[in-house]
Amino acid sequence: MSSNCSLCFFSYFRYREAGVSEWSTIPVTPPGSTQVTINRLSSGTTYEFQVVGKNEIGDGMLSKVITVRTLGE
């Protein structure tokens, strides 16, 4: 498959507070979007994020986990 995929986009995005086992999943809409906004994160809290890409073949594998700490206390 070419790296110039014209039908590549994010399928869904998931996140959780670090140390918590359950993930929250957010579908990425509209189809073709390459960004998502997550509201109501707690300040001074560490979160883990993953994304799944999609192309003409279907959903790909989960990305590596990225860990981010929000600003604040």
Q: Tell me the pLDDT tens digit for each residue of 10-57.
A: 678 899 999 999 999 888 888 777 778 888 999 999 999 998 877 777
Residue 8, CB-side half-sphere exposure with 13 Å CA sphere: 10
pLDDT tier, 6 (very low <50, low <70, confident <90, very high otherwise): low
Domains of the chain, each with CATH number or no CATH:
9-69 (2.60.40.10)
What are the start-end ranges of the E strands in 1-73?
9-17, 24-27, 46-55, 58-62, 66-69
State the CB neighbour count (10 A cutoff) for residue 52: 16
Nearest to 46 by CA among 27, 65, 26, 25: 65
Q: What is the pTM of this model?
A: 0.76
